[in-house]
Amino acid sequence: NSILPGTIKTKMNENIFKNKNLSNKIQEGYLLGSGKISYIADYAVFILSDKAKWITGQKLIMTDNCIIN
């Protein structure tokens, strides 16, 4: 299984979010706003649990329906 997250504010990209113009453009692309680390962590905990033992070989796209190709 794999997790394919959208834009999430982390220490690695925090400079992007400090730029208000760029941050606003990112936010506009997401209906629910950019993601949070906790969203990814919650799924990771679930997919590693026994509750997900029948879920195999899946790619979870976590982007609030905002995909850049």
Whether the full predicted model's pTM is greater than 0.85, yes or no, is: no
Assign 3-state DSSP to the chain and report helix, strand, coil percentages, each to 5. Answer: 40, 15, 45
Structure confidence at residue 8 (pLDDT): 85
Alpha-carbon gap, residue 63 to 29, rounded angstroms: 10
In our burial notation (b when 16+ CB lie closer than 10 A, e otherwise), range 10-27 reads eeeeeeeeeeeeeeeebe
- Per-residue pLDDT tens over the stretch 10-38: 888 888 889 989 888 877 777 777 788 99
Residue 67: which residues within 8 A CB-CB, separation 6 or more?
A: 6, 61
